[in-house]
Amino acid sequence: MRADCQVCRSEGFAAHSRVQVRLGNRSIIATLNIVYGSLLSTGEAGFSETAWTMLAPQPGERASFAHPVAVDSMSHVRAKVYGQRLVESQFDAIVSDIVAGRYTDVELAAFITGCADGHLSQEEITFLTRAMINTGERLTWPYQHVMDKHCVGGLAGNRTTMVVVPIAAALGLIMPKTSSRAITSPSGTADTMEVLAPVDLTLQQMRAVIEREGACIAWGGAVHLSPADDILVRVERALDLDSEGQMVASVLAKKAAAGSTHVVLDIPVGPTAKVRSGAAAHRLQKLLEHTAHAMGLKARTLISDGRQPVGRGIGPALEAADVLAVLRNEAGAPKDLRSHSLDIAAALVELAGLGQGDEARALATAMLTEGHAWAKMQAICEAQGGMRQIPRAAQIHEIVATHAGHVNAIDNRLLSRVAKLAGAPAVPAAGLELLVRIDDPVVRGQPLFRIHADNRGDLDYVLEFVQRHPGAVEIERH
């Protein structure tokens, strides 16, 4: 709007004011930019492309501009920050207001921070989960068993889903997998799968893929299963902040909304993983199992080794390459990705009642070694819109050991940050390849990891960061 326009003056709008714009029965809450000069005439306002799409102004229509009605539910957020326990109706009010777009980013940040760490009780997590389910779409499937899996992230390169789903589908299980894009990591499963096939499927497209192949690996956001989570994720990403309670709610709300009935939950534990101690993993396990039960889901949790990244690649394209190596039974395929995927697949087999213990694991392994999983993965990619070639980065740079010794520790978080600064996940080919594992002996000058970037500017930027933060791979001198 113009700085001198009457609405700005009388309403006291200034640059970055939140303004409710109404046009017919459409309404948005927008952030105001103020312009000087002749860009707009008196009585005119300009919209962003997004606002234009949402308001769909017609010739001759008049818009009205007002202060957004005060968001009452922020008082509940303040109560939460002050350490009070909230009741179900308060979570319903908060989540409804978030989904309606009534929260500013600053208010979302306060809610996320107020719910971070252990600030939500078991009961509050159940309330938040239910509020998230109730504000989104909910899928139903004409199958008795609808299998699902989820890994409580924080472990770079952990792309088990893309190995587990084809194994399960090859065994005849129904697994309409919806995955998320990266929150704080260099790649989410949806980002990695997108390297191989379209993931932005409509619900109708998803149903067609399931009918044909029994399974899919799609982006969950496209089917609006948890609109609250989609809004929160953007600010969570900016804060790089995780919240146990919000994580449990977000994971299980998506599973319940997706119509899943049986779910395997994988919790990797390590000093630089999202879950850092056995005690934290057990607490999270209890929260997940309790909340899953309250939502009517049959759940099994696995606690796994999260001391270092799984596979070699970190970043969409490099992780996709690891997945294909495992599915194709290549000699150089990352062993840890293969074995970890088989653990999860075996748990799914048990949960579905197809076999127990060694028998379950043998069933899952057979699907992989006999090539059924690889054939199924190709079929799924074709059904989702066609299999794609994996892109390769233009700039590759090796970081080498400055002294001899053996690998003592690997900082997952630092490696994730490096991969993100290199451009992942926005640039699919960007990221890094980890060339050593914990306990490996190394000689001076031996490559430790390779950075992949799209252009020289991104590469220089990440190299400057690596120079300032040398501890990603810690080498103990002999």
Are the CB atoms for 295 and 412 separated by under 8 Å? no
Per-residue contact string for residues 241-270; x = within reach of a second copy by CB under 8 A: x-----------------------------
Number of residues that bind a second copy (CB under 8 A): 46
Is 455 a residue that touches a second copy (CB under 8 A)? yes
Catalytic, 242? Answer yes
Identify whether 425 is preceded by a cis peptide bond (ω within 30 of 0): yes
The least distance separating a second copy from the CB of residue 43, rounded to whole angstroms, comes to: 16
Interacting residues with a second copy between 118 and 147 (CB under 8 A): 118
Nearer to a second copy, 106 or 331 (CB): 106
Interacting residues with a second copy between 182 and 221 (CB under 8 A): none
Long-range interactions of 121-124: CB distance < 8 A, separation 24+: 121/85, 122/287, 122/290, 122/291, 123/85, 124/85, 124/86, 124/91, 124/245
Is 239 a residue that touches a second copy (CB under 8 A)? yes
Nearer to a second copy, 78 or 403 (CB): 78
Q: For a second copy, which residue of 56, 87, 387, 426 counts as binding (CB under 8 A)?
A: 426
Is 154 a residue that touches a second copy (CB under 8 A)? no
Residue whose token pair is 């213990």: 357
* Annotated catalytic residue within 191, 229, 242, 266: 242
The least distance separating a second copy from the CB of residue 188, rounded to whole angstroms, comes to: 17
Is 66 a residue that touches a second copy (CB under 8 A)? yes
Stretch that binds a second copy, among 105-113, 296-304, 370-378, 381-389 (CB under 8 A): 105-113
DSSP H helices, 43-138, are: 49-55, 74-81, 88-99, 105-114, 122-134
Phi, psi for 95 (deg, rounded to 5): -65, -40
Q: For a second copy, which residue of 136, 166, 306, 423 counts as binding (CB under 8 A)?
A: 423
87: CB partners within 8 A, 6+ apart: 127
Helix or strand (DSSP H, E) at 217: strand 215-219
The least distance separating a second copy from the CB of residue 311, rounded to whole angstroms, comes to: 25
Are the CB atoms for 435 and 391 separated by under 8 Å? no
The least distance separating a second copy from the CB of residue 9, rounded to whole angstroms, comes to: 9
Are the CB atoms for 11 and 65 separated by under 8 Å? yes
Residue 458 CA to residue 452 CA, distance in Å, equals 10
Is 331 a residue that touches a second copy (CB under 8 A)? no
Are the CB atoms for 362 and 399 separated by under 8 Å? no
Cβ-in-10-Å burial (0-12, 13-18, 19+) of 304 comes to: buried
Is 67 a residue that touches a second copy (CB under 8 A)? yes
Residue 456 CA to residue 381 CA, distance in Å, equals 33
Q: For a second copy, which residue of 4, 24, 26, 33 counts as binding (CB under 8 A)?
A: 33
Residue 353 CA to residue 194 CA, distance in Å, equals 31
The least distance separating a second copy from the CB of residue 155, rounded to whole angstroms, comes to: 18
Residue whose token pair is 């980002």: 191
Are the CB atoms for 226 and 220 separated by under 8 Å? yes
Is 439 a residue that touches a second copy (CB under 8 A)? no
The least distance separating a second copy from the CB of residue 175, rounded to whole angstroms, comes to: 33
Per-residue contact string for residues 40-59; x = within reach of a second copy by CB under 8 A: --------xx----------
Residue 400 CA to residue 449 CA, distance in Å, equals 7
234: CB partners within 8 A, 6+ apart: none
Interacting residues with a second copy between 216 and 235 (CB under 8 A): 235
Helix or strand (DSSP H, E) at 119: none
The least distance separating a second copy from the CB of residue 33, rounded to whole angstroms, comes to: 7
Nearer to a second copy, 10 or 41 (CB): 10
Nearer to a second copy, 39 or 331 (CB): 39
Nearer to a second copy, 6 or 122 (CB): 6
Is 463 a residue that touches a second copy (CB under 8 A)? no
Residues that are catalytic = 242
Interface residues toward a second copy, by CB under 8 A: 10-12, 15, 33, 36, 39, 48-49, 66-67, 70, 74, 78, 81-83, 104-110, 112-114, 116-118, 235, 238-241, 417, 421, 423, 426-427, 454-455, 457-458, 461, 465
